[in-house]
Amino acid sequence: MSKVISFATQKGGAGKTTLLMLTAAALHNRSSQKVLVIDSDPQLSVKNIYKQEGNSKSYDVFAFNWGQPTPEVNFDKVITLAKRKYEIILMDLPGNIKSEEFYYSILQSDILMVPIVASTLDMNATMGFLHRIPDFNKEKGSPLEVFGVVNKREKTLEQKFIHELYHLENLKLFDSEISYLVRYKRQISTVFDIVDPMIEDDEFNIYFKEFVEKCEISL
């Protein structure tokens, strides 16, 4: 059965698009699964990089046009068709959780990946976001699986407490973390993997292993 994994959070700049693109490239290059990225964010960040690279070896990207009349009807059709062709669908969600783009996208999601930056502002915004999840679950009928991943890890005081803070919420925090590194700014691609998968102690590879296990993806 196909899985829809959405990268979402209310806090702008936490790393939704970055984490999604790193994950998509690794799945595309390291597995036999067919991967589709749906750009559900009107900013079209993934779609723009996909167009710039224009490489036939990339994973497939589809940008949904929310500007049409009754977009939700076509969105549901797109997801149904996508599930027939692709095993893994990753979605980049917009940051505005009150938007219809966000609402209809989350109703179609099975798993949420939430990048978390260890700063007071980011953590408060994430708490607010997590408190809304039960409302979406009620409408969906089946609960979302919600995973948090620390992104832009730095040696801050907040970083030390982050695991305790998120203990209480409906979020399972990954053990692995993504540091603040220049390679995540420069080497974002719809074609290339960020790192050689053979380097076992590379933090991205450790994250990816955990992602595959927690999301129950067979490579």
Ligand X SMILES: Nc1ncnc2c1ncn2[C@@H]1O[C@H](COP(=O)(O)OP(=O)(O)OP(=O)(O)O)[C@@H](O)[C@H]1O
Min separation Cβ 18 and Mg ion, Å: 8
C-beta of residue 176 within 8 angstroms of C-beta of residue 203? yes
Instruction: Kindly state whether residue 185 participates in binding ligand X, applying the rule CB under 6 A.
Output: yes
Spatial contact of 104 and 132, defined as CB atoms under 8 Å apart: no
**CA distance linking residue 18 with residue 13, whole number of Å:** 9
Measure CA of the first residue to CA of the last residue in the chain; give whole Å: 14
18 near Mg ion, rule: CB under 5 A: no
* CB-neighbour burial class of residue 106 (10 A; exposed 0-12, middle 13-18, buried 19+): buried
28 binds ligand X, rule: CB under 6 A: no
Residue 41 beta carbon to Mg ion: minimum distance, rounded to whole angstroms: 6
- Pick the piece of the chain touching ligand X (CB under 6 A) from 83-91, 142-150, 174-182, 190-198: 174-182
Residue 109 interacts with ligand X (CB under 6 A)?
no
Size of the site for ligand X (CB under 6 A): 17
Tell the smallest beta-carbon distance from residue 152 to ligand X (Å): 5
Q: Is 95 in the site for ligand X (CB under 6 A)?
A: yes
**Shortest Cβ distance from residue 14 to Mg ion (Å)?**
9
**Which of 76/100 has CB closer to ligand X?**
100
3-class secondary structure, 175? strand
Reported as half-sphere exposure (CB side, CA atoms, 13 A), residue 203 has a value of: 16
Among 6, 10, 17, 189, the residue binding Mg ion under the rule CB under 5 A is: 17
- Is residue 18 at the binding interface for ligand X, with CB under 6 A as the rule? yes
Whose structure tokens read 């966000």? 102
Ramachandran quadrant class, 13 (left: phi over 0; alpha: psi -120 to 50; beta: rest): left
* CA distances (Å), origin 7, targets 36, 153, 199, 202, 213: 14, 18, 25, 22, 17
Nearer of residues 58 and 139 to ligand X, judged by Cβ: 58
What residue 181 binds from Mg ion, ligand X, none (CB within 5 to 8 A, per partner kind)?
A: ligand X
| Binding site residues, Mg ion, CB under 5 A | 16-17, 45
| Binding site residues, ligand X, CB under 6 A | 12-18, 41, 43, 95, 151-152, 178, 180-181, 184-185
